[in-house]
Every structure is written in C-alpha cells, then in structure tokens.
Structure 1
Amino acid sequence: MGALCALVIALTGCQSAPGGGGAGKESRLGERAPASPATARPSGYGAVFLGVDECSSFGRTSFTEVPCTSERAAARVVARHDGTMKSGPPCPDTTDFVLHISEQRPSSDEDGDGAVRRGYACMRNLQPPHPGDPGGGGGPRTIVGDCVYRLDDGKVRETACDGDGGHAPEFKVTKAVDDRSECPASTALYVRLGGERPVGCARAL
C-alpha cells in the first residue's frame, strides 16, 4: 500500500525524538500535550498496519513498518487501538511513545479492504533507553515512580529522576489512588495520571 498515514508522537515539542529520554512532557497535573506531526508510511508488511507485536523503523520525519528481524527495526507495538487516545484505552504504563495514525482509504491495502483505520499504536523501543519506564522522564503517561517539577504557570513537567532530563526533579509519584483523600500525609503534590487510579500522590524530593 503506497498511501501515507499522518501521525503525531504523543509527547510534547520539548520531548526528543523516540529512542531517547528527552526533556519530559509538560502538563497540568500530569496531562499530556501533542507534539509536532510526523509521517508514517505503510510498507505492506503484516496483515494490519502496525499491529500488535509488529515493528517500526525510526526516521527523522517518518516511521515505516518493517519485520522485527530487520536491522532497521527499532520499536515494537505493544498495543494497538482504533480511534483516538482521548476516547480509547490508555497505553500500557511503560510505553515509550505513541504513533497516531490517520485514516486512509487507498485503492488497496494489506487486508484488501481498501482502508487503514484511524488509530494509535503504543510503542516500546527494542533497545534502551526506555523513557516510559518509571523515572525515565518520558513516555505518554505519568506513572508511579516518575518525577516531575513545577513550571511558573502552575503546570508540571516530567523529568528523569536521576537528573539527566535537563531539569532537577522536585517531586516523585509514589502512589496511584482513586481520590486525593487516599494519599499519604507526606503527599506534597497531586498529579493527574489517568487510567483506573487517576490521582498520583507525589512527595517532595
């Protein structure tokens, strides 16, 4: 299939390209903001474009599906959903980055139905670093073990807990709960995590 599928990385413009830890995601209480768009190019490999357990290559402006045994393979799909992240299931906690795929209706495609559905692929790098790991300073979600620091406008931004993210961490998320009242007394900041337990209890560092 020769059609192009537009995508955006669900990090922020301050985040480096996938494969690195980056500077972290800016948010208000842990919410994410989208980055500049890149491009995904279906290669015709596999029954579904970027299906679960399939792999992509990295490029400066494009990501192409390739066999996972290829020397060009750089990241694996750990979850794949139709629709948008806003209305769909969240990616697994340790997802390194997300590819958003726009709907395309070419004359032919992998499964012969003439369409690539709009969706998103949750990606995990095949090799370290893994910015989506707890404390890694990246990934599309803030999770337990991640560190953040405050911005002047009241937002928070995730950064690597080891200080390698370009900014010293100020708070660390130690627990995920249903409601703020369940956070321990040592909690200095509440961070919005999303998912089944949407409130993160963060202690000062």
Structure 2
Amino acid sequence: MFGRSVGGVCAVPVLALTSALTLALAGCQGSSGSSGERPSSRASSGYGAVFLAADECSSRGRTSFNEVPCRSERAVARVLARHDGETSDGPACPARTDFVLHISENRPAADENGDGSVDRGYACMRNLDRPHPGDPGGGGGPRTIVGDCVTAAGQGQVRETACDGSGRRAPQYRVVTAVLSRSACPPSTSLYVTLGGSRPVGCAVTV
C-alpha cells in the first residue's frame, strides 16, 4: 500500500548498516566536526517514480524508513534534495536540512526503473513538524549556518549545540555572519568557523 521500505538505524555519526538497501541517518555532517580557530538534485516525478526523490516524503520507524505519500498520516519528513554518490563528493544539502539519509545498496523490491537496483546516494530531509534541528540555533542538521551556536570540542574543532542551552553542551559562540575571508569579519569576532559553501568563513561572537 505504501510501497518501499528500507532498514536503518538512527545514529550520529553515520554507521554502516546490514540490510540489502540501507539508510543511515546523519544528524551532523558538518556541525559535529567543524574547524574553529580564534582571531545535482533530481526533480520529483511523483510518489513512487524515483525512490525518495525531491519533494517526496518518508515515514520513520524504529528500524526502517518507508517512502510514503506526503498526505499520509505516516509521513514525517520531506526530501529537500536528492543526490547521487557520497556526501563527501556531492553537493551540500540545503541549509535547513534536519538530517541526511544515505542510500547505500541494491534491493529489487525498491527498484525505481526496473533494472533491479536503486542508485547509491543521499537524501536531504526536513521534518514535517518540529523540532527542526537544521534551523539556525537548532543545534543540529548537517551544516553549520549563520545563527547557529557552537562550543569548543578540542584540537581546533567546534561542535554545534542548541543556542537555547537545551543541548548536552552549553553554547559558547554564535555565528553571526558568513564571509569570503577572515578579514571581512566584524571586529567583535572571537572565533572563526569553517562553514564551506560560497561564503566559507563563519564569524562567531561569544555568547
């Protein structure tokens, strides 16, 4: 009735899974290991045409993720973007992505075009309802963006944490702007955070 399902385990960082087609949940692609130093998406063709294509939705069970119609009461997250390959080689997920599903192996039951396989890749997901850890200050998501808070994690690294203090670690710095180079940061900057993208330097101030 609701089509494809895949096994998965919610974990950060991404773990290797054992089912034929597996999805791993990555909660902090860039936020869990950003460096800190002081001063192509497929278009959706409708439910079922392409496995977890852009704008399609999934449910989330204890051990599996199912592709379901977005109007289904089981739908909990929507695909913002879908890319082939590995996250390290492909485009970054949109800024407000809440988590990433990694599609890793073949499974004929989830075949999208009749050739007995589903392309390896990853889907950038956003929860249909709150919480949205990928929002600015939310304390999660695969990217660190302007408005996020971070805390020192040792050896020149920072870890993203919720700005409201609800995370495991209290926030120490907030990223207030993203610029091309450190010289463009405001005088109040107390930490430089690597963000990536077209404006790779995050200027963070003490909170």
Both structures adopt the same fold (TM-score exceeding 0.5): yes
AA aligned opposite 2:121: G
Q: 1:109: how far off? A: 1.9
State the alpha-carbon separation in 2 of the partners of residues 28 and 93 from structure 1.
Answer: 15
Per the alignment, residue 97 of structure 2 pairs with 95
Tell me, yes or no, if structure 1 residue 149 matches structure 2 residue 147: no
Q: Is the contact made by 2:51 and 2:110 (CA closer than 8 Å) also made in structure 1?
A: no
Q: Percent identity, please.
A: 66
Tell me, yes or no, if structure 1 residue 62 matches structure 2 residue 64: yes
Q: Which runs of 4+ in 1 moved over 3 A?
A: 1-4
Relative to structure 1, the CA distance from residue 108 to residue 152 in structure 2 (aligned partners, 3 Å threshold; closer, same or farther) is closer
Aligned to 1:27, which of 29, 33, 41?
33
Tell me, yes or no, if structure 1 residue 204 matches structure 2 residue 199: no
Q: When you count strand as a share of all residues, which structure comes out higher?
A: 2
State the alpha-carbon separation in 1 of the partners of residues 75 and 194 from structure 2.
Answer: 33
The unaligned stretches of length 5 or more in structure 2 are 7-19, 37-46
Q: Is the contact made by 1:136 and 1:159 (CA closer than 8 Å) also made in structure 2?
A: yes
Please identify, of 134-143 and 55-64, the stretch whose mean Cα deviation from structure 2 is larger: 55-64
State the alpha-carbon separation in 2 of the partners of residues 28 and 50 from structure 1.
Answer: 28
Q: Is the contact made by 1:103 and 1:119 (CA closer than 8 Å) also made in structure 2?
A: no
Aligned to 1:8, which of 2, 24, 38?
24
AA aligned opposite 1:47: A
Match of 2:151, SS state, is strand
State the alpha-carbon separation in 2 of the partners of residues 196 and 103 from structure 1.
Answer: 32
Number of aligned residue pairs: 181
Q: Give TM-score scaled by structure 2 length.
A: 0.80
Q: Give TM-score scaled by structure 1 length.
A: 0.81
The unaligned stretches of length 5 or more in structure 1 are 16-23, 31-44
